[in-house]
Amino acid sequence: MENTINTQVRANSEPQPSGNSELLLQLKDVSVSYSPEKKAVLNVSADIYSNTVTAIMGPSGCGKSTLLRAINRMHELYPNIKTEGEILLKGENVLDMNPMKVRRMAGMVFQRPNPFPTMSIYDNVLAGYSLNNIKLNKQEKDEIVETTLRGVALWDEVKDSMTKKGSFLSGGQQQRLCIARALALKPELLLMDEPTSALDPISTNRIEELILDLKQQYTIVIVTHNMSQAARISDNSMFMYLGELVEYDSTKKMFTKPKEKRTEDYLTGAFG
Amino acid sequence: MSSTLQYRRAKDKVFLCVVCILSSLTMIPLFLILWELLKKGYKQINLSLFTEVAPSSMDAMLARISNEPIPGGILNGLSGTILMLAMAIVMSIPVGILSGIYLAEHKDSKFSSVVRSLTDLLQGVPSIVVGVVVYAWVVRPMHSYSAFAGSVSLAIMMLPMIIRSTEESMKMVPGTLKEAGLALGASYSTIILRILLPAAFGGLFTGSLLAICRVMGETAPLLLTALGASAVNLNVTEPTSAIPLLIWEFYNDPNLANLVWTTSLLLLVFVLVINIIAKNIAKKWKIQ
């Protein structure tokens, strides 16, 4: 009984759209299980609006990365992982769509920068096109590379070394290159899985500024370990614990007046 | 307290000395072999070695009597080796690389572990046995010794090395690259062909070169399959010579025995050069 009430409260407290943003991603009763006994994500429901940054927080092993990776169906790499429920991206259930189309609509940035080591910086940006056999002429390629790299504030640093391998760059630059690679395909949604956890503070800062900047054009869902990062960059926050979505609200509200005891405990450092 | 420290330091030094001495001992055989081959073979090194076929016993005897260098060369062996290696590469590399990819991508399946163990066993099959089997499979049905039969036996011997080196180098490619490709919407085959294979290329290339080195000096299976020929033969259905076969022929003919050293030197130099190239490529293409 208590649970039902909680769910209702949670649903009402979900962040509302502001300005001209619209409903982009809807999670309905999403569960992810690694095996029949072991569920990593339990019945998560949430609405995410366009041009917002949504942070998913929680202690290690709470299922936040698992939830994120369910959105672009990355779990299909491992056949024993099962995703249930509905994930509606622009009203269409991604679980029924062609996974390749889903992944082009929802770009992903990983924990560790992973530019393709055999490709040049230029080719890395265009990898999404070349790997999907989308033919572009030289002018289109140049244009995409330049605008995308400018978009991630990397253009000025690499414009003279386009033919060098991606691994030639520093960790922070590599991560911005990976963001550029994901953005080059003009996705509806950008999923980021702890994108700064392998970076130094200065590089982290630049990525955070970039995220705030990208919000104008993209919708971002970011998994983060770091509460202050979530407070700095996100509009809305989800707090997950043991696979459950405990609380989902605007970041401001959650950090000042959390509704749930568990959220408060986590935010004040009682556990996690 | 300090005496224990001194004792430990002394022990450390003694151990280091022993290790250094023993490891330098391992280098001696190679240098002795090279020295011996150079000493006995240098007289016969000349251009005709590469442009002429092996001399007849009579020519060699006449040259020996008049105390001149033996005429002729090893062109028939050299061309045969290149021909058979080329065919063996065409046969074994695609199969080997594809099986290696399968083993790396399906690490835990039952079938993979069977393939993996059989590959290891294949590597242990004595080369003469491979020769006998290929004799029964290819030479008998074709009613002739042939370069083709020789290359089949070489291909069988190369396979396990290529499969395992492919598997190992594919496993070295970080899994995050596969995820990155997947997240961009690429298909599985595209990821394998355009991301994982290029990233593993250095390892694949080195493994293939080492496999080539390994079979370059194989003699036993060729004796039963390619047999040998006194002229340059580029017809794959005809008996063909090879460098190691020539060494064996020279050894069996007292008049030609002097050529054994030069030919062996050449074979060894080929193998060493390819080996060194392979090692350098491995270093250069290492995944960061």
Residue A257 pLDDT exceeds 70: yes
Which of A112, A131, A182 lies nearest to residue B190, judging by beta carbons? A131
Stretch (H or E) spanning B21: helix B2-41
Stretch (H or E) spanning B206: helix B197-216
Which position has the higher pLDDT, B285 or A36? Answer: A36
The percent of residues in chain B predicted with pLDDT above 70, rounded, is 98
- CA separation for the pair A60, A68 (Å, rounded): 14
Residue A5 C-alpha, separation from nearest chain B C-alpha, in angstroms: 38
Residue B225 C-alpha, separation from nearest chain A C-alpha, in angstroms: 42
- How confident is the model at residue A7, as a pLDDT? 44
Residue B146 C-alpha, separation from nearest chain A C-alpha, in angstroms: 41
The reply to whether A78 touches chain B by the CB within 8 Å rule is no
The DSSP string of A49-88 is: ETT-EEEEE-STTSSHHHHHHHHTTGGGGSTT-EEEEEEE
- Candidates B178, B184, B197, partner chain A, best to mutate (most A CBs within 10 A): B184
The reply to whether B185 touches chain A by the CB within 8 Å rule is yes
- Nearest residue of chain A to residue B194 (CA atoms): A131
- Indicate the DSSP class of residue B47: T
Using the beta-carbon criterion (under 8 Å), do B184 and A101 form an inter-chain contact? no
Using the beta-carbon criterion (under 8 Å), do B176 and A112 form an inter-chain contact? yes
- CA separation for the pair A102, A72 (Å, rounded): 6
Using the beta-carbon criterion (under 8 Å), do A117 and B199 form an inter-chain contact? yes
Which position has the higher pLDDT, A272 or B224? Answer: B224
Quickly tell me which residue has 């779990």 as its tokens. Answer: A75
Q: Which residues pair with A83 in a beta bridge?
A: A32
Question: What are the residue ranges spanned by the domains of chain A?
Answer: 2-267
- How confident is the model at residue A2, as a pLDDT? 41
Q: How many CB pairs under 8 A join A and B?
A: 71
Residue B157 C-alpha, separation from nearest chain A C-alpha, in angstroms: 31
- How confident is the model at residue A11, as a pLDDT? 43
Count the Cβ atoms, other than its own, within 10 Å of residue B179: 18
Which of A11-20, A44-53, B249-258, B272-281 is the least confident region? A11-20
Phi, psi of A57 (to 5 degrees): -115, 170
Q: Which residues contact A244 (CB under 8 A, 6 or more apart)?
A: A42, A43, A44
- How confident is the model at residue A8, as a pLDDT? 38
Residues of B in contact with A127 (CB under 8 A): 181, 184
- CA separation for the pair A32, A85 (Å, rounded): 9
ipTM, two decimals, is: 0.85
Residues of A in contact with B195 (CB under 8 A): 116, 118, 131
In chain B, what are the domains?
Answer: 75-284 (1.10.3720.10)
CB A151 within 8 A of CB A215: no
- Mapped onto helix, strand or coil, the DSSP state of residue A37 is coil
- CA separation for the pair B9, B29 (Å, rounded): 32
Q: Which residues contact B270 (CB under 8 A, 6 or more apart)?
A: B216, B243
Count the Cβ atoms, other than its own, within 10 Å of residue B260: 21
- How confident is the model at residue B81, as a pLDDT? 96
Residue A146 C-alpha, separation from nearest chain B C-alpha, in angstroms: 19
- Look up residue B141 and give its two tokens: 């049905």
Name the residue among B168, B144, B273 with its Cα closest to residue B216. Answer: B273
- CA separation for the pair B158, B123 (Å, rounded): 8
Residue A21 pLDDT exceeds 80: no
Q: Which residues pair with A149 in a beta bridge?
A: none
Interface of A with B in 106-135 (CB under 8 A): 107-108, 110, 112, 114, 116-118, 127-128, 130-133
Residue A6 pLDDT exceeds 50: no
Phi, psi of A19 (to 5 degrees): 60, -135
Using the beta-carbon criterion (under 8 Å), do A101 and B187 form an inter-chain contact? no
- How confident is the model at residue B7, as a pLDDT? 93
Q: Which residues contact B97 (CB under 8 A, 6 or more apart)?
A: B162, B166, B204
Query: Mean pLDDT score of chain B, rounded to an integer?
Result: 92
Residues of B in contact with A102 (CB under 8 A): 185
Residues of B in contact with A104 (CB under 8 A): 184-185
- CA separation for the pair A33, A21 (Å, rounded): 32
Residue A13 pLDDT exceeds 90: no
Using the beta-carbon criterion (under 8 Å), do B184 and A118 form an inter-chain contact? no
- Mapped onto helix, strand or coil, the DSSP state of residue A238 is strand
Using the beta-carbon criterion (under 8 Å), do B180 and A103 form an inter-chain contact? no
- Nearest residue of chain B to residue A76 (CA atoms): B182
Side-chain half-sphere CA neighbours of A76 within 13 A: 15
Under CATH, which architecture does the A2-267 domain have?
3-Layer(aba) Sandwich (3.40)
The single-letter code of the amino acid at B184 is L
Residue B288 pLDDT exceeds 80: no
A93-97 contacts: CB < 8 A, separation 24 or more?
none
* Residue A17 binned pLDDT confidence (cut-offs 50, 70, 90): low
Residue A234 C-alpha, separation from nearest chain B C-alpha, in angstroms: 23
Residue A1 pLDDT exceeds 70: no
Quickly tell me which residue has 């020929």 as its tokens. Answer: B229
Name the residue among A47, A7, A223, A116 with its Cα closest to residue B173. Answer: A116
Calculate the CA dihedral of residues A153, A157, A162, A168 and round it to 10 degrees: -110
* Residue B287 binned pLDDT confidence (cut-offs 50, 70, 90): low
- Look up residue B92 and give its two tokens: 């074994």
Using the beta-carbon criterion (under 8 Å), do A77 and B179 form an inter-chain contact? yes
- How confident is the model at residue B117, as a pLDDT? 95
- CA separation for the pair A50, A215 (Å, rounded): 9
* Residue A19 binned pLDDT confidence (cut-offs 50, 70, 90): low
Using the beta-carbon criterion (under 8 Å), do A104 and B185 form an inter-chain contact? yes
- Over its C-alpha atoms, chain A yields an Rg (Å, rounded) of 19
Q: Which residues contact B150 (CB under 8 A, 6 or more apart)?
A: B80, B84, B221, B222, B225, B226, B240, B242
Burial of residue B189, with CB atoms counted within 10 A of its CB: 0-12 exposed, 13-18 middle, 19 or more buried = exposed
Tens-digit pLDDT profile for residues B209-266:
999 999 999 999 999 999 999 999 999 999 999 999 999 999 999 889 889 999 999 9
- Indicate the DSSP class of residue A33: E
